[in-house]
């Protein structure tokens, strides 16, 4: 896990998913999201020196806060997230490859999820995003995102639409 950047996620449950199942899905994802974004131990917490902008791994973008990127990302993701039942999660912390696999594998194996929108911005991608406030969209199948991450071909600033 890194403490610099932005991690944005929309999880779209299947439309025929029952309300009770959607609530359980949200609780499971939320718990997993939080646990993967917190430092694993004191050594990791000391090494990472948590981002002073937001000490919590989970944030709700707010135009009154100082982070202009958060506000812009929230506007982009709100346009994508037309359904109220979709799960939107944002963080100032980015997952390392092990945490990434650990977090996403159960999501990809969950038959209640139709698709996932995912975006990461590291500190370099943040500056170009701030200049343009634009993003590219790329559609992938579930395992392709792992291949991109492992081969270091994953691109910051691209919204990946991952079809489950």
- pLDDT by residue (tens digit) across 108-125? 998 889 999 988 888 778
CA 155 distance to own-chain centroid: 14
pTM above 0.75, yes or no: yes
CA distance 97 to 145: 11
- pLDDT by residue (tens digit) across 51-99? 444 445 556 666 666 677 777 777 777 766 555 578 888 887 777 778 8
| Residues contacting 47, CB < 8 A, separation 6+ | none
Kindly list the domain boundaries of the chain, sorted by start residue.
6-163
If you search the block for the tokens 């430092």, which residue do you land on? 39
Reported as a pLDDT band with limits 50, 70 and 90, residue 140 is very high
If you search the block for the tokens 């944030």, which residue do you land on? 59
């Amino acid at each position: 896990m890194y403490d610099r950047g932005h991690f944005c996620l929309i999880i779209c449950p299947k439309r025929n998913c029952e309300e009770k199942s959607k609530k359980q899905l949200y609780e499971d994802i939320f718990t997993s999201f939080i646990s993967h974004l917190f430092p694993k131990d004191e050594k990791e917490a000391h090494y990472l020196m948590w981002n002073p902008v937001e000490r919590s791994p989970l944030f709700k973008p707010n135009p009154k806060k100082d982070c202009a990127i958060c506000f812009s990302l929230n506007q982009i993701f709100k346009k994508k997230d037309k359904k109220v039942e979709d799960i939107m999660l944002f963080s100032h912390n980015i997952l390392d490859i092990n945490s990434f696999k650990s977090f996403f594998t159960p999501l990809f194996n969950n038959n209640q999820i139709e698709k996932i929108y995912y975006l990461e911005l590291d500190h370099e991608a943040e500056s170009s995003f701030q200049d343009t406030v634009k993003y590219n969209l790329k559609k992938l199948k579930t395992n392709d995102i792992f291949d991109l991450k492992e081969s270091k071909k994953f691109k910051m600033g691209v919204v990946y639409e991952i079809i489950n």
